[in-house]
């Protein structure tokens, strides 16, 4: 199975045109040209790719490794949360 890091690297290589040899767990996002504003967009892409819902609070993720840990935690937590109550929440359905 493809690891979170590999999937994240694939996004960075494709959408951000970053060379794979720069993508390491300890690589700072700033050093890859992704500042705090860029991180907002990266997380938005991740949300779609990993089928997770991000919290609205801002998060501080200095390195790629931090992003990987953050995503893994969310995937685990949200898989557990959605298990008993499948389907969209009522407020999402209300229009």
Partner 1 sequence: MRRVAVSGIGVVSPLGNSTAEVLANARAGRSGIRRLDIAFAKRLSAPIAGTAQFDEEAHFEASKARMLDRFSMFALFAANQAIEGSHGALADVDRSRAGVFVGTGMGGTLTMDSGYRTLYGDDSDRIKPFTILMGMHSAAAAWIGIEHALRGPNLTYSTACSSSAVAIGEAWMRVASGQLDVAIAGGAEAPLSPGSLKAWEALHTVATMDADDPSASCRPFSKNRSGMVLGEGAAMLVIEPWDRATARGASILGEVIGYGHSNDAAHITRPSVEGQAAAMSSALQSARIDPSEVDAINAHGTGTQANDCTETAAVKAVFGDRAHQIPISATKAMHGHLLGAAGALECMLSLLAMRHSVLLPTAHLQQPDPDCDLDYVPNQAREGAAARTMLSNSFAFGGTNAVLVLRGSS
Phi, psi of 85 (to 5 degrees): -125, 85
Contact segment (CB under 8 A) with partner 1 among 22-30, 34-42, 55-63, 75-83 equals 34-42
Minimum distance of partner 1 from residue 65's CB (angstroms)? 21
Contact between 16 and partner 1 by CB under 8 A: the answer reads yes
Rounded CA gap, 38 and 29, in Å?
9
x/- map, 42-61, partner 1, by CB under 8 A: --x---x-------------
Q: Given CA atoms 87, 91, 74, 10 in this order, what sign does their dihedral have?
A: positive
Which are the contacts of 78, defined by CB distance < 8 A and separation ≥ 6?
52, 53
User: What does the binding site for partner 1 look like in residue numbers (CB under 8 A)?
Assistant: 15-17, 33, 38, 40-41, 44, 48
């Amino acid at each position: 199975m493809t690891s979170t890091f590999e999937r994240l690297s694939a996004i960075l290589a494709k959408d951000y045109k970053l060379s794979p040899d720069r993508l390491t767990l300890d690589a700072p996002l700033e050093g890859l040209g992704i500042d705090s504003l860029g991180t907002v967009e990266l997380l938005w892409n991740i949300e779609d790719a990993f089928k997770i819902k991000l919290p609205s609070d801002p998060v501080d993720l200095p390195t790629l490794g931090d992003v990987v840990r953050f995503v893994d935690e969310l995937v685990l937590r949200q898989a557990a949360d959605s298990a008993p109550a499948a389907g969209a929440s009522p407020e999402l359905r209300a229009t």
